[in-house]
Structure 1
């Protein structure tokens, strides 16, 4: 099971962890449009319908933006390729698919300051460490063309950030 817990049946048993279940739920929510009552926790990853996080007006959305934390509590980072942006590292993702029990294809999202398209540099000046303060400066997101495949059992936490419309076709 995830987060360093041993599986109940002993070595070799494979059980889904909570991160896997949450990301699977995010994918299901992105793939369906259902109505649900408002929740008091406005960033709950299980909140339906898509568009309910942060924006109770339930604006049109096609993506639930989330971050993953490694088992050491550090935000997971991935790179994206871009000729348009000077920076190419992000901690923000969109789930595209889940397969083989708990593997997922994630689209790396480009963190932006504003709708004008200014990317937020998430790494320090020397480019070796994540600047946690810069994460707070992210206001908008854009879809990159970069996807990664991850084993969701390797993560200890998932945090949903926002529901946004990235214009992604399903």
Structure 2
């Protein structure tokens, strides 16, 4: 069964009544951990598990060698099982992304997220993430790099059911 054939009830434990079962605020805890890890960004030994959002320090989630990084790229999934989308300016009107960097966490699980620009292997912008109002997963799979945008969005992290860490990258973010 392909992803596009799945019902929302098959994705991430989401049921048709819009309940994800995430009453403990786990997305908030993970995004807080990502922020702490980004803030620390220190050298460390390679870890045996390279796919967890909680891995320290920043480096490359996919490879065992650690590289310089200042951003943990992640996606958020809403309670309907859909990837959360943000807008950024420019790029000939192609301005939708599902990739984010946490900038700040405040109050009771609110966060300011920077929308990241998805780039292909040749560092050109992935322009068709949205196709007829739906995410084009083939285009999404062509993303290999990210660039920072100047667009930020403030969200309530309680509104999401899942967070997936994608990669650690160096976006040369000024601290």
TM-score bracket for this pair, using the shorter chain length: 0.7 to 0.9
Using the alignment, how far apart are the partners of 1:48 and 1:36 within structure 2?
8
Distance change (3 Å), C-alpha of 1:85 and 1:54:
farther
**Residue of structure 1 in register with 2:157 after alignment:** 152
| Structure 1 unaligned regions, length at least 5 | 7-15
Using the alignment, how far apart are the partners of 2:128 and 2:36 within structure 1?
31
8 A contact 1:103–1:149 mirrored in 2: yes
Q: Give the one of 12, 21, 26 matched to 2:29.
A: 21
Task: Name which structure has the greater RCO, CA cutoff 8 Å, separation 6+.
Answer: 1
- Taking only aligned residues, the RMSD between alpha carbons, in angstroms, comes to 1.8
**Residue of structure 1 in register with 2:173 after alignment:** 168
Matches within 5 A, 1:18-57: 18-57=26-65
Q: Give the one of 109, 113, 126 matched to 1:102.
A: 109
* Displacement after TM superposition at 1:85 (Å): 4.2
What is the SS of the residue equivalent to 2:38? helix
Q: Give the one of 69, 72, 82 matched to 2:77.
A: 69
Aligned pair 1:60/2:60, yes or no? no
Using the alignment, how far apart are the partners of 2:144 and 2:161 within structure 1?
25
Aligned pair 1:133/2:172, yes or no? no
8 A contact 1:43–1:54 mirrored in 2: yes
* Displacement after TM superposition at 1:66 (Å): 0.1
* Displacement after TM superposition at 1:54 (Å): 1.4
* Alignment coverage as a number of residue pairs: 157
* Displacement after TM superposition at 1:81 (Å): 1.0
* Displacement after TM superposition at 1:129 (Å): 1.2
| Structure 2 unaligned regions, length at least 5 | 1-18
* Displacement after TM superposition at 1:37 (Å): 4.6
* Displacement after TM superposition at 1:18 (Å): 0.2
Aligned pair 1:116/2:123, yes or no? yes
Using the alignment, how far apart are the partners of 2:108 and 2:42 within structure 1?
25
